[in-house]
Amino acid sequence: MLDSIVGDVIQIVKWQEESIKESFERSIIFHMAHHNDDQFELLKGNVSHVALDLLVGEKAKIQMLITSNSSCGCHLFMTRGLLCACRLSNNAKITPDEIDVFWRKLNLNPSLLNEDKNVDIDVQMDRVIQHIKNQPNPVKKSMMSKVLSAVSHLNQ
Ligand SMILES: [Zn+2]
């Protein structure tokens, strides 16, 4: 039982690293037209496309919130560590520092996951766990919530 949970977690961590890395590599190669917004200029190539998509979508909500006189709710900020409509509304350029490290993690730690298929997965797993342990609590929480949501997705 424990073995299979550990196996699941290893798979999830691997999958997360790979999918983020893949998306991150695409982000470096392509600069998508709909991301051509001065406000996000400093983020291009530094955060994943998924993060940019979410930010572009959030920015589109600003006018709607003003028109309907609604409050932001700050959902994106609380759940994803990305700037929400009220934080984007001043139109200031966003720096990568303002984005949850999750979205730019591989840029900072490209050596975290060794590409060599012969490397012991348990050793890599330990490195990943050690890396997560060394993060500040909000980052830990963010990373754990992503792992846990992936686990619950697998169990559905
Ligand atoms: Zn907000």
pLDDT score recorded for residue 85: 95
pLDDT score recorded for residue 49: 81
Lowest mean pLDDT among 1-15, 58-72, 100-114: 100-114
pLDDT score recorded for residue 119: 63
Ligand 1 centroid to Cα of residue 74, in Å, is 3
Q: How far apart are CA 133 and CA 43, in angstroms?
A: 26
Residue 102: band (very low, low, confident or very high) from pLDDT cuts 50, 70, 90: confident
Q: Please state the domain count of the chain.
A: 1
CB 93 within 8 A of CB 43: no
Lowest mean pLDDT among 3-7, 31-35, 91-95, 99-103: 31-35
Give the residue-averaged pLDDT of 75-94.
Answer: 93
Q: How far apart are CA 48 and CA 58, in angstroms?
A: 16
Query: What number of other Cβ atoms are within 10 A of residue 60's Cβ?
Result: 10
Ligand 1 centroid to Cα of residue 29, in Å, is 31
Query: What number of other Cβ atoms are within 10 A of residue 70's Cβ?
Result: 11
CB 73 within 8 A of CB 52: no
Q: How far apart are CA 20 and CA 134, in angstroms?
A: 20
Residue 19 has pLDDT above 50, yes or no: yes
Residue 37: band (very low, low, confident or very high) from pLDDT cuts 50, 70, 90: confident
Q: For residue 149, what are the domain limits? A: 2-155
Burial class of residue 8 (count of CB atoms within 10 Å of its CB; 0-12, 13-18, 19+): middle
135, two tokens: 């993060």
Give the residue-averaged pLDDT of 23-41.
Answer: 70
pLDDT score recorded for residue 116: 58
53, two tokens: 């998509």
Ligand 1 centroid to Cα of residue 135, in Å, is 25
Ligand 1 centroid to Cα of residue 82, in Å, is 10
